[in-house]
Structure 1
Amino acid sequence: MDYEALLNEVLDIGKEMVKCGAETNRAEDSIYRMMESYDVEQCNVFVIQSNIQATIKPAGGSYITQIRRVHKTGFNYDRLDYLNNLSRYICKNRPSVEEIHEKYEEVMNRKPQPVYLRYLAAILGGVGFGVYFGCDFVDSCVGIVICALVEVYLGDILDKKENNLVVYNIIIAFLSSAAVFLAAEFGLGHHPDRIILGLNMVLISGLGVANGIRDVLDRAYISGILNIIHACLGAVAIACGTGLAMLLFEGNIYEMYIAPSVVVQLISCGVASMGFALVFRAAPRQSFWAGVGGLVNCGCYLLVIHFYGNNLAAIMAGATFVAAYAYAMSRIHKAPATIFLTTSIMPVIPGATLFYMMHGIVQSDYVMAREQTILLGQTCMAIAFGFLIVEIATRYVFEKKR
């Protein structure tokens, strides 16, 4: 066995897993398992979002060290699923280096997502949450056009040239918000703020926050903090792009959104979560179940709000359900839990809070800005506590089984 070539192939798989949106703990554990399934005396692996390092010592051989630099991460849950299955195959069958490379190339050369599905996914996500925030029919039509032209068409062009998430989010958030405000000037759209709330949700990813919290709970503090910082910078960039558009289009065209009926909220959250799963290029079947998770997540939130009237308790209940649901779906579908976790959690991600925080800053309403900033922090803590409850429960169950 050429262990240097083996380590090269395994690290390529781990690198692509990180680039596709896997939590660093999953990538690190997969590399460990693949290498230790062969005749290796020592294996040490360290993974963060931008770097992978591994040192192995084959039986009777010398130490081998390789490093991978990860320049850009994104979302491709279909590829992540197949890479995860490939790592399981390697652990079980211990194939040759040539066979590993052949199967890796098969995964990397899978047919990409159809163009029409990218547009449909973004529209389902953005307009779905727009309806959740109270958009009417005309608002939804405006949102569909702007989402397709700006966030998908122009977004694809910009994505090929811009690797910096902050710059990308500022540009797309500004263009989409400016387009909404400009349409409102011509009488197209009755609630521009609600349209923007939905469109901004397409840019806000639950991935960084969710994976960051999970990494911290797994004591991977560097990786977790980097994930959370990355997500926060992206959110701040969205707020800045939206705030710049607000400054250019001054006027009394903002109002706090009014939630529609319970049925509309449930359906819109389910549709939007399914859309987000497709945006992250999950398989259609997995996307459907991600949508079911988003719908029930919203139901948990509304149920707790109805009986207890406590927003933080409602968010914690939704996050607890999503964490348990993702764990169960990962076992049923034999797929990474992050596919279901980061999409079903979207209904309680504080996108509206972020918008009104920036609105308060731009309009010099610092009371609103302060209130929304505090609410933003409390929401993130509630989500973390929900994840923590399930983390403790699953670990206890595993210990009892052992």
Structure 2
Amino acid sequence: MSNWLEGAVTRAELVSDWLAPQRQTSLALLREAQWPTRKTEAWKYLPINVWDRTELLAEADAASDAAVETIEGLNSLDLVFVNGKLESSLSGDLPAGLTVVSLADASADAQAWARETFTAVKPERHLFGLVNDVLATQGVLIDVADDAVIEQPVRIVNVLTQGHESHTRVLVRLGKNAKASVVEQFVGNQRSKNTGFAEYKIGESAYLEHYRFALQTGESLSIGGSHFELATRAELNSSLVGFGSTLQRIDVDVTHAGEHAFAKLNAIYLLDGKELFDLHSTIEHAVPNGTTEENVRGIVADNSRAVFNGRIHIHRDAQKTLAELNNRNLLMSDRAEIDTKPELEIYADDVRCAHGATVAQIDKKALYYMQTRGVSRSQAQIMLNFGFINELVDQMPNEALAEWLRPQLRDRFANMEVK
């Protein structure tokens, strides 16, 4: 066990709240856990020892003057965490059918359903998920009642600043026929550590529009995940956008627990300098008649490195499953690296499944052609890059979020050079 993990276990032994039974189960697993090494398949490309060597403040003072960007046209319900502490929570009247409370303020009814959700959606195999189980005393519970349609997105902003370690948890439950949108946003480019995990239970015939913007850069060390359980005829539309940093890892898990569920997952990562981004996804088709569409696209420049491991597991009883996984990448430098591993594990015989991965360089003929037509090299590069990922941006259901994201992507492209 690493020194940091030993310290985390010691800190966790002092945590006592209404989630204590669930935390104790995770703590027992954590005590037996092995720290990943280069020989650990799921961690072989990630320099996890950087996390172990980086010492930061375990308890942070919230920075009350931290600015949170307003997204024009979004009209969201915002909750703000600064260094892991809930600094700005929702006040006033919420839309009918929506309940949002902090872990500390949860009522007896909220505690009851949260106990059933906490650690139940996220698989036990996630080491840092177990860490988050035992250390995340700050978080929110979002409950959407049966038949409720919540038009305003709930945006959860995590602001990460210099020198702090933080752990936050989000639990979301959508009732039968409910509709809602949740945005997880992480920002910060200074030296920090954080784990941010979210668990979603999507009820029968419910619809969740989900976004995770992992926009930490610079010296940020970040490990987290978004995990989903779909009931019968439930629908998930999830978009993930990641920028690289010193160390960044995201795990996404989707379990089709009810028949005729549908999951659409789009992901984009853009890396430059010496940045690192590691995305692992696992789709579990446990019952028949499920559908999954997963598209992942990345652009990697300079000395950066991207890792993608996408696994679709079709269980023996999951007949009539339709599942597709596609990972496409652009290398903009001879020094950049992409490690991609799409996987299909199929035990049913009446399914339609496909997977694929490509790694290519930017088309230098197209770049030259545009330059001969009076387009500068930098602008031609931005146009070609943006065209590569814009299809997934266009598929975002919320146009305000797409419009907010596009200039950030263009700025990112402007600093990437073909080498």
- Structure 2 length as normaliser, TM-score? 0.25
Q: Which has the higher strand share?
A: 2
TM-score (norm 1): 0.26
Indicate the structure (1 or 2) with the bigger Cα radius of gyration.
1
* Greater length-normalized contact order (CA 8 Å, ≥ 6 residues apart): 1
